[in-house]
Amino acid sequence: DSGVTQTPKHLITATGQRVTLRCSPRSGDLSVYWYQQSLDQGLQFLIQYYNGEERAKGNILERFSAQQFPDLHSELNLSSLELGDSALYFCASSVVLAGGPLSGELFFGEGSRLTVL
Amino acid sequence: GENVEQHPSTLSVQEGDSAVIKCTYSDSASNYFPWYKQELGKRPQLIIDIRSNVGEKKDQRIAVTLNKTAKHFSLHITETQPEDSAVYFCAAKSNTGTASKLTFGTGTRLQVTL
């Protein structure tokens, strides 16, 4: 158990719909990352939040958005879903020491498997 | 931005043989290079990492080497076992203040056969 919790584990929906994926980071971790992993593909970085603020953005579509709340949990919102959005969405968290070196290690959740029909 | 290339995409070795996976990165400012193992249907998990001030690191049957000049790093698994079968991802991390980004390679599917 990595300490990172993601819900739901599985989600099946139709094209054009909107879904929200939720992530609770490890206790004490301020930084949250979202990754998309399509079938037999690598891990595509979507977005990073640090203590409620967006810090880095990757190949995230405009139909997707995310936020990190004051309690540090994060949500990834996917709208106008297309078949190609079917994937495993991972959330990860890490410790970030302000003013010091980053610990580096990412702790991944079990992922949310999204199927768009 | 950072670009990480990983080879080979698939690798099949016999039990007991060694396996080597290679990665190159583009951002010379990258300073942290982890390797993650992902078993089928599971989350990626860190198996070993190396920082830019170190050339080599070993942990039992696993070792990682880093060549900063050439901007490449490699994972070496010796005496492979069936449980080593998984997808392995290399990654490179660059930092700007508290902003950070971990860019992953495309993965290597390692199959250890009996």
pLDDT tens per residue across span A46-71: 998 988 999 888 889 999 999 999 99
Q: Which token pair is B54?
A: 């170190």
Nearest CA in chain B to A109: B43
Amino acid A1: pLDDT? 84
Query: Measured between alpha carbons, how far is B65 from A99 in angstroms, rounded to an integer?
Result: 28
Amino acid A101: pLDDT? 37
Residues of chain B with pLDDT under 70: 95-100
When CB atoms are compared, the residue of A42, A55, A111 closest to B43 is: A111
Query: Measured between alpha carbons, how far is A3 from B34 in angstroms, rounded to an integer?
Result: 19
Nearest CA in chain A to B106: A42
The residue among B105, B99, B44, B92 whose CA lies nearest residue A57 is B99
Residue A113 pLDDT greater than 90, yes or no: yes
Amino acid A99: pLDDT? 32
Q: How many pairs of residues across A and B have Cβ atoms under 8 Å apart?
A: 62
Amino acid A59: pLDDT? 82
Q: Output the CA–CA distances (angstroms, integers) from residue A116 to A69, A83, B79, in the order listed.
A: 27, 5, 42
Look-up of token digits 């929200």 = A20
Amino acid A94: pLDDT? 83
The mean pLDDT value for A4-17 works out to 97
Look-up of token digits 């698939």 = B10
Q: Which token pair is B12?
A: 């099949």
Half-sphere exposure of A116 (CA within 13 A, CB side): 17
Numbered residues of chain A with Cβ closer than 8 Å to any chain B Cβ: 2, 31, 33, 35, 41-43, 45, 48, 50, 55-56, 58, 90, 96, 98, 102, 104-106, 108-111
The mean pLDDT value for A28-52 works out to 88
Is A106 within 8 Å of B107 when comparing Cβ atoms?
no
Is B34 within 8 Å of A104 when comparing Cβ atoms?
yes
Model confidence over A58-106: pLDDT tens digits?
A: 889 999 999 999 999 999 999 999 999 999 999 999 876 443 334 567 8
Amino acid A55: pLDDT? 85
